[in-house]
Amino acid sequence: MDLLEYQGKMLFARHGVPVPSGRPARSVEEAVAAAQEIGYPCAVKAQVQIGGRGKLGGIKIANDAQEAREHASAILGMDIRGLTVYELWIEGASQIASEYYASVVFDRGAKAPLVMLSTKGGMDIEAVAAEDPDAIAMLHVDPLLGFQPFHGRRLAYEAGVDADVVRPVGEMLAKLYAVFTSEEATLVEVNPLIITPEREVKALDAKVTLDNNSLFRHPENAQLRDLSAEDPQERMAHERGLTYVKLDGNIGVLGNGAGLVMSTLDVVKGAGGEPANFLDAGGGSKADAIVSAVEVILSDQKVKAVLFNIFGGITRCDEVARGLIEAFALIKPTVPFVVRLDGTNDVEGREILAQANLPGVYTEATMDAAAAKVVELAK
């Protein structure tokens, strides 16, 4: 779950990470009131879950109430890389002597947290990594040992930070690591991490991604979920207990089990098709789960054909067939379906579908044949 900047700063403050004072605002009047309370100059910042806001006009400095009103009016409703700005963060302007970059991310390859520090803050870190990889100091942290003071000093020295802030920067990294572990995040990023003229270290930005699977342990974080920023199909699937990922093609893909669905995506691609989504109904799928899955798949207007690939183990193919019949009765799909049933009660399932004679439903015995058929129908 990606957080907005100010939500990330709320988590930072919880762990003693210094951040500039600010107020959220959802309207121009709220923004002006917040600016008056904080004082001028202040920053008017678009709150969207994407980077590069400043370059696209999503961050402006206001020196008085008139500028605060003008900037808030311009930024609210702005489209930033496909995301609409519904909320602002009004923050006291900061004096900056230096800009650094700091992050903690979970490195799945190393199976350990990776802490990164660079003196080239305020830039796209991807560009820094491509142009000057030596400018980024990196350190994997043993989860059992945790982040130690010498880790912070080592990263600061290797990154080449100013000598007088080596220890404060190291202490900041320790606090960011505490946010990462305590809040069960997969990413904590600050760009820029600033050094003020008074040599204080502050987080001027906050990019935080939390592990969805841990939210039941953090009810206060679960409340930060921004439903308006989520894909409507993914939100619908989540509410129904289904695993769904939206893709760019026009063929809906449903299976029972992540491995089977991923294999199905590959087979569809191999047959020349483009999957529109990935929907895993899970093992033991019952008829009601199939109805929900069909509703989610067909809610995407790009879907021109649907491939059902079911391997019956715990899941019974006759249950899947009944669920499909029920879905057709309720939803009345207008796009063709290709169904491949194999495993537990597959013969019974195919017989049920044959007797129902659903319009636009085709059955195939193999994955390859099913993929070829659905690609043909999608065209």
- Burial of 148 from C-beta contacts in 10 A (0-12 / 13-18 / 19+): middle
pLDDT at 314: 80
pLDDT at 225: 75
Catalytic residue chosen out of the listed positions 67, 189, 319, 364 = 189
In the numeric block, which tokens belong to residue 332? 């009345």
Strands 337-343 and 361-363: parallel
Q: What does pLDDT average to in each consecutive run of 10 residues of the chain (379 residues)?
A: 94 95 95 96 93 87 96 94 90 95 96 96 81 91 96 96 96 97 97 96 96 91 72 72 84 87 93 90 65 84 91 85 87 90 90 91 92 93
Is-catalytic flag, 184?
no
Domains and CATH numbers, the chain: 21-92 (3.30.1490.20), 98-222 (3.30.470.20), 232-378 (3.40.50.261)
pTM of the model: 0.72
Please report, as a single letter, which amino acid is at residue 245: V
In the numeric block, which tokens belong to residue 7? 């939500």
* 3-state SS record for 312-346: ECCCCHHHHHHHHHHHHHHHCCCCCEEEEEEECCH
Is-catalytic flag, 189?
yes
pLDDT at 227: 56
pLDDT at 228: 57
Catalytic residue chosen out of the listed positions 101, 177, 244, 362 = 101
pLDDT at 112: 96
193 vs 340: CA distance, rounded Å: 54
Mark residue 238 as left, alpha or beta (left: phi above 0; alpha: psi -120 to 50; beta: remaining).
alpha
Q: In the chain, where does DSSP find H-type helix? A: 5-14, 28-38, 65-75, 125-131, 149-159, 166-182, 219-222, 232-239, 258-270, 287-298, 317-331, 346-356, 367-378
